[in-house]
Chain A
Amino acid sequence: MQTYDIVIVGAGPAGSAAAKIAAEQGMKVVFFERGNSPGEKNASGSAIEMHAAREIIPDFPHEDTPLQRAVEGGSFWLQSEEGLLCLNAFIQAWSTEKNDVKAYTVYRNEFDKWWAEKAVEAGAKLITKTLISDIIKENGKVIGVQTEKGEKFFGNVLIGADGTNSKVAIRSGFRGPWKPNEVALCVKYDYPLPKTTIDQFWGGFSENSCKLDLYFGQSMAPAGYLWIFPNKESISIATGTGLQEMLNGGENLNYYIHQFLQHTILGRILKNVKPRYYISHEIPYLLTYPTKPLEVCRDNVLIVGDAAGSVCNFDGEGWDSAVIGGKKAAEIAIDAISDGDTSKQSFQPYQKWYNSYVLSNLDWGWRIGHWLFNEAGYEQLANPLLKTFATIFDHPHIDHIVPSLNKNLSQLLPLLGTLMLLGKLHLKPYADLLGSLV
């Protein structure tokens, strides 16, 4: 029998963050990974944000951190019947301040391994190649976990950081398996390309930097988007969409990648390039309106990251809230253990953090996502601008251009109204609900 202060299932971004923070505070911590090494089963966009990384490792990044490219901007591509509109955004393009990188692209299989090593260096015990098959309960309360080989590990607090298909969340009674309208499936191809080609098409202003491409449109993802994230010497092309939308007349996701390569410049860039890796992964993507906060703590157990559905339901970003959530869960678990009370009540600060950080994200994400995907908001934005461009090319004369601009751009006015309304309604519907919890 092995007993720990904190038992963590999962050595992804949230599990390793929690393990590091807890071990640093002198807790006896064990964390489990089902792959041969952390990161082996993981996948994402993949980009990581500096603000979240520095919550765990204040002097992040280190020299040996496996990073790919610094993200300096993004291009938003909006598809409509009129064509494809591109909005480019380069953050701080003329800034004189250096080293102010907000995010990096990474290969998660490399990065997560490094990230977990930081927890091991802090004193947490990592057990790999081990699937946790069940939780152990006593008098209705969780007291430990059991491996598939029958080995038991007991702890004062259990942290479930075991991803979308979290066994800890389901077996502890937080929720059932996610439903089709609560998850998104993603597929991704990695294409090797010469550094110069990537710099040419996706490069930013400094060495090893890049911009990301995000494509919105029914032809690329029915509810979600298609994206290109550049690495040092490869690009990843991926698409993801809500399962329910996929079921409602969608195709296998590989179809969308194929169509994309047929209809965009990417097909030409990659004409003679073979992909070297294929990855697919499922993430929580709560496309229903978040009418009530998900329960994330019970007696002796907390859930974090994908297990807790803490993924923005617009952009699918979950790394930052997984990492910060891992830290919060660990800190609150430490307090609870030192107070000798690990009841659900003692974990309420974690629920409060979740409600403010994750739920506001879900609320915004739902509003924007609903407008973009269900009301085809990207078309409303793209159509008037594309029509205006078409006029300019058709009749390059100011007599034609001005009336056309008036007509087309006036269509953008209701759009501004919609966006303002989105902002005003923010959080209001369940302010009372949150209040009652606090």
Chain B
Amino acid sequence: MTDYEFVGEKLRQKIKGLFEIIPKQKHVFIDEVRCNGCENCYIFCPGGCFTMEDGIAKATHIEDFCQECGTCAKICPTNAITYKEPEGGTGIIRRFS
């Protein structure tokens, strides 16, 4: 039973301000035709980067919340997600890591 308290927008509220990101171009893409609405990316993304809209996953918060783990692409059952690493010198900055 998924606890949606720790998913998407609610997760973003919890982790907001707890990391730094250097602005970057979007680097995670969803093929909306392939997306079957399973919610895997939405539920498990540790950055809460995804939003479900009309049964389709949207990568709405990649630029400001992506942790660059690459999990989304691996857990997508229809291979609808493309994960790329962001351009050098941009993206997440770790401290106390």
Contact = CB atoms under 8 A, between A and B. Distances in A.
Interface of A: 34-36, 39-44, 46, 107-109, 128-131, 147-148, 164-165, 167, 177-180, 183, 185, 187-190, 231, 234, 236, 243, 246-247, 250-255, 258, 275-282
Q: Provide the main secondary structure of the chain B interface.
A: loop
Contacts of A128: 88-89
Given A243-B75, A279-B94, 4 more contacts: A109-B96, A131-B88, A277-B97, A281-B69
B68 A276 contact: no
A270 B68 CA distance: 28
Contacts of A44: 97
Contact of A34 (B11, B85, B94, B97): B85
B92 A185 contact: no
Contact of B97 (A43, A246, A250, A258): A43
A108 B93 CA distance: 12
B5 interface: yes
Contacts of A189: 18
22 contacts: A35-B89, A36-B89, A41-B92, A46-B97, A108-B97, A109-B94, A109-B97, A128-B88, A131-B88, A147-B88, A148-B88, A177-B73, A180-B75, A185-B69, A190-B97, A251-B43, A258-B5, A275-B18, A276-B96, A279-B96, A279-B97, A282-B71
Interface of B: 2-3, 5-7, 11, 14-15, 18-19, 22, 40, 43-47, 67-71, 73-75, 83, 85-89, 91-97
Contacts of B5: 255, 258
4 smallest beta-carbon distances between A and B, as pairs: A129-B89, A278-B18, A280-B46, A190-B96
Contacts of A148: 87-88
Given A36-B89, A129-B88, A254 B94 contact: no
